[in-house]
Amino acid sequence: MKELINSPGWEMFVFLFSGLGLFLYGMNLMSEGLEKAAGNKLKSIVGALTTNRYMGVAVGAFVTAIVQSSSASTVMVVGFVNAGIMNLTQAIGVIMGANIGTTMTSVIVALKLTDVAPFAIGFGVMIMMFSKNAKTKKYAQILLGFGLLFLGMDTMKHGMADLKANPILADILESFGEGGIFNTASAIFVGFAMTAIVQSSSATTGILVGLAATGNITLAAAFPILLGTNIGTCVTAMLSSIGANKNARRAAVMHLTFNLIGTIVFVIFLKGATLWFVQDILAAQFGFDVAGQVAAAHVTFNLVTTAGLIWFAPLLVRFAKIIIPESEDEKDEVEGIKYLDERILETPSIAMAQVSREVLHMGRLSMKEFQYAVDSFIEGNMDKAKKTFKTERIVNELEHEIAQYLVKLTNTAISDQQREMIDGLFSTIGDIERVGDHSDNLAEMTVYRIENKLDFSESAMDEIKHMSERVIKSYKQALTAIKEVDHELARSVIEREGEIDLMEKNLRKKHIRRLNEGKCQPAAGVLFLDIINNLERIGDHASNIAAAVLDSVVV
């Protein structure tokens, strides 16, 4: 064991392994800090997306430059498509842009900023330890991540410095640049496998830049490996799409198709032209060494592939729909979870917007349940009572799913204001679920009325209709107040709650008078009192929802 530890091969492995760990951790820290700093802007950036695929490319490049991983960005896109934030036409533009944005890592690594890494780490740690300003800490995290990234890169370089001393590895790396179908395919597979294992094309590219910087690999050998990394990065998105809806799986298929086409075109037609352009034009003009040339080749591949295939984006969408055909059930309206996807938790600001949309979806569904329940009683309609029970089960499931998602969201990098919003959303889904419970009660009363053939006087039915109309209006306005953050509307709902309470008291007195005068069946009289009590309780919950809007904790 001691001989193994002291061997050159073991030392190389330790440097490579520890350096890769530092590199990945630094990249994660830096991207997390960047996301915290720009997170609130990401919501508006993604919201600005239209069916314009060119805008999507720009957004994809920007977001990926922040998260420092096209794999993470594409997984995010799969989540967005699954949650209905964007359609396939938007998604293909973002996917193309992600391939451009991921080149930022190779460019940064090729800049040779290793000498400033210790200072970045030192300042980053000191600021994070002693600063109490949350915003300052975000920037300190970026600085710390930046330093660790380059420290990891430098550590890997030490491990790769004597790579040529190993004749087997040296021969393999040299063969990758000799051309030929077998050598090129082997190099592409190596890039694919490394990226699929590490789950980061940025890390694989960083290793290639490090190999080039130590003179262990030529541009000709590194280039096909780079092509393989672009295919390997698709593995993460493909795995992520398992269990998602068909559109999300189509987004993953488009990502794979895009990178496969780009790789095939470059291997067959553009490899020689790319090497000539990078070595004879860019390197001669800007003095790039081999490490800089590898980064430049990476940028060139992704820019040219995107520029060439963006015109065929509609065909890529159509191809994805052929691979995963449309079915009739896709056209049905979604009644369960509609906007939530755990992949979006990587961008908390967007996840906050989505969970708010899901709460509104839950509210609208419980509104439909309430309307079914009221109509079922007034019309004596058993079918609508059954619809109420079915919708109630969906509302309960939604509350459970949203609550779990909110818990997960609290464990992400969110601000204090967002934590307050989450507390408000917890309260709101509780009130919406209680509206569903009272609607369920009303439907049960419908069943009881029909089975026992209970009759109500015309005046009693008119009173139920009038009160239910007031409550329905109040609940609808409470949901609108959430959607539009309308404080005036929220105040009117709270004011009406007092009117509904008074209405319930007056109707109770009038109905007791009718019972005493023998104008109503005792069993029907008890049912009437239960109905107006449930309606009054729904009015209370509508008021609670409106109060959350006034507290500015629900958006």
Instruction: Give CA–CA dist 414/42, Å, rounded.
Output: 13
- Residue 230: Cβ within 10 Å count: 29
231-250 pLDDT per residue, tens: 998 887 888 778 777 888 89
Global model pTM greater than 0.85: no
Residue 455 CB contacts under 8 Å (≥ 6 apart), including other chains: 521, 524
385-429 pLDDT per residue, tens: 999 999 999 999 999 999 999 999 998 877 778 888 888 899 999
Cα torsion angle, 146, 8, 219, 291, sign? positive
Stronger pLDDT, 256 or 160, i.e. the higher one? 256
Q: Are the C-beta atoms of residues 137 and 103 closer than 8 Å to each other? A: no
Q: What is the mean pLDDT of residues 462-467?
A: 90
Identify the CATH number of the domain defined by range 342-550: 1.20.58.220
Cα torsion angle, 195, 201, 202, 205, sign? positive
Is 488's pLDDT higher than 50?
yes
User: Domain map of the chain by residue range?
Assistant: 2-323, 342-550
Q: How confident is the model at residue 165 (pLDDT cuts 50, 70, 90)?
A: low
**34's tokens:** 């960047």
Nearest to 295 by CA among 234, 214, 207: 207
Q: How far is CA 109 from the centre of its chain?
A: 28
| Amino acid at position 99, single letter | N
